Structure 1
């Protein structure tokens, strides 16, 4: 039987019908600073990875649009999606046994050979866990943007991460690097994470700017240290650390933050905000 992963947060995090969803995504893309994106495209060409938030589109959609504007009208064969598990606890990386993810903009097939390669490399780190994906929003919210900006057909590899030790972060990056180097396709990595949660706007901005400094310097050691000390927060800290380690392994050493905002800038409530960043690695 063909297992299709159904949308879990359509009508909640984003419009559930095709017309309204396309309109919203394209409005976000139209409101991006074109000059910033054009200058960056001239400098870097195609990115290795983008970092994108995953809240409701009303709050974080405009921030997410900056990363996706960078890849508008480009072609990719595989998009590897890395995000945190919000609802199921486990160690390592959880793959989806589904054959595709359904979205209001159409189905996106999963690259099954990529999944098989990850498990073959290290079955202790990577395994199928359908329960982790069923309710999860962090990867699902990226899919409408991907469908809208990428030209042509592409497949996805959705990976959710539970807790990872410092050694496991390096091991995951090693496995991903081995698989990456064996494949000839055009591969894009998308890391889904929000930043600090439920602090005042002043405190949130201090914490988030600290995290962004580590990201721009590609300093994963300091990022890990500050996260353990509670000086920075990101629900997707593990996938973020993984992509920084993977990028360094593959010689992708440059990164940049594209835009930062927090939920209070939309809601007007600055007492308990959530931080959002869009970033790029090349």
Structure 2
């Protein structure tokens, strides 16, 4: 397969501003006003939502604001999200080697791209990525929050939590690597129903209990994979924000739920006073 060099921005002008200056201004405003529910140390992994910025941008910003101290440390972002338009068996990597946004181009980590193809459940195909928004909407946040970085963009289709966890484990890396899971929560429930469903889903994530279904989160499969990996690595989950589109954009008759959660290495216990 010939390598398509650049995957162009597909949802600029829809999910986020197409104009670079307007986009930078909006990102700066969301990041400067982000207030996390719970303070968290430097994250190894984050779950962030992927709707239009007017809906979920402020929720996502609560996670991205934590990256400021890691601006120069994080060089590689492993991105997993669900496919919304094209069915995928297993996992899909793009053929494209760069992803474009109004803020510039982000390179794909070529070594990881090549190594993952040794798995029989990974296919290289630009089609699932061409119009998919779940990873693209994260890139402008990463571009303003990090110095220089590469991405490993993986769309997750029909895969088991165990297979997803093994793929995440293969890409775990060290302090230079951030694992990013892109997922919204419930879809089109009433405001009160969504609050109940989303709180239950988030509590399950905070307890590192896999088993989320796709009614609870569209990215349930990558989330469940992350939870298995987080348990193995003794990470602690910190709730940063939990809201829905009725909180951010008004209409409360049918809403979509959003959360940001950070997964951090457990802090060593402080010595008790004798």
Size of the aligned set, in residue pairs, is 260
RMSD (Å) for aligned C-alpha atoms: 1.7
Greater Cα shift, 266-275 or 211-220: 266-275
The question of 1:247 aligning with 2:230 is answered yes
Residue 234 of structure 1 is matched in structure 2 by 217
* Equivalent of 2:45 in 45, 49, 73: 49
* Equivalent of 2:131 in 132, 135, 138: 135
Structure richer in helix, relative to its length:
1
> What's the TM-score once normalised by structure 2's chain length?
0.90
How far has the Cα of 1:73 moved from its partner?
A: 4.3
Indicate if the aligned counterparts of 1:108 and 1:155 stay in contact, CA closer than 8 A: yes
Indicate if the aligned counterparts of 1:77 and 1:186 stay in contact, CA closer than 8 A: yes
Structure richer in strand, relative to its length:
2
Superposition pairs for residues 25-40 of structure 1, below 5 Å? 25-33=27-35, 39-40=39-40
Indicate if the aligned counterparts of 2:81 and 2:181 stay in contact, CA closer than 8 A: yes
Indicate if the aligned counterparts of 1:14 and 1:21 stay in contact, CA closer than 8 A: yes
How far has the Cα of 1:188 moved from its partner?
A: 0.3
How far has the Cα of 1:82 moved from its partner?
A: 0.5
* Cα separation, 1, equivalents of 2:88 and 2:34: 37
Superposition pairs for residues 1-282 of structure 1, below 5 Å? 3-33=5-35, 39-40=39-40, 44=41, 46-74=42-70, 75-120=73-118, 122=119, 124-150=120-146, 152-164=147-159, 168-180=160-172, 183=173, 186-220=176-210, 223-224=211-212, 227=213, 232-249=215-232, 251-282=233-264
The change in CA–CA distance for 1:212 and 1:179 in structure 2 (over 3 A counts) is closer
* Cα separation, 2, equivalents of 1:264 and 1:179: 36
For residues 57-100 of structure 1, give each alpha carbon's deviation from its aligned partner in whole angstroms, at most 9, with x where no partner exists.
00100000000001124231110110000000121110011110
* Cα separation, 2, equivalents of 1:213 and 1:60: 20
Greater Cα shift, 138-147 or 259-268: 259-268
Consecutive unaligned residues of structure 2, counting only runs of 5 or more, are 265-274
* Structure 2 SS opposite 1:94: strand
How far has the Cα of 1:172 moved from its partner?
A: 2.7
* Structure 2 SS opposite 1:72: helix
* Structure 2 SS opposite 1:255: strand
Consecutive unaligned residues of structure 1, counting only runs of 5 or more, are none
* Cα separation, 2, equivalents of 1:68 and 1:178: 24
* Cα separation, 1, equivalents of 2:122 and 2:88: 11
Indicate if the aligned counterparts of 1:73 and 1:149 stay in contact, CA closer than 8 A: no
